[in-house]
Amino acid sequence: MITMHTAYTEEIDEPELAVQEILSQLEGKEFGKSSVGILSCTADFLETGVVRALCERVSFDVVGITSLASSTAEEAGLDILTFSVLTSNDVSFATVLTDSLAKVQAESIHSAVSKALAALPGAAS
């Protein structure tokens, strides 16, 4: 079983405050043996260091995208960072960075899948 927990912040300018806000929303949630973070935010959160600070504070890999707006079940807006964590005791997660998908998509995707499968603790089922 995979469980998902979601948190958010609108704090763009103070990385530590943003991280504290996100972590406090995740406090008390149960996390499995394997987790991966997924974030969505405007580029401002990258420029001010919020994304870096968050990635440095969690004990699992984080992937994400920049977008013009983000939302959760509670909040939506232009200046919001959403952070979801997929977690499981039964499933392992592996993250990789693809090469550019602008031209040779199939090759880049095949390479990324191969890298991700090699990073797993066992054979994929």
- pLDDT, residue 35, reads 97
Residues 6+ apart with CB under 8 A from 125: none
Average pLDDT over every residue of 43-70: 95
Is residue 87 within 8 A of residue 31, CB to CB? The reply is yes
In whole angstroms, give the CA distance from residue 109 to residue 97: 10
Place of tokens 């998908």: 101
Token couple for 18: 């943003």
pLDDT, one tens digit per residue, over 68-90 is 988 888 888 889 999 999 999 99
High-pLDDT (> 90) share of the chain, %:
74
pTM: 0.88
Where residue 114 falls among pLDDT bands split at 50, 70, 90? very high
Q: Has residue 62 got a pLDDT over 90?
A: yes
More confident residue, 112 or 104: 112
Residues 6+ apart with CB under 8 A from 110: none
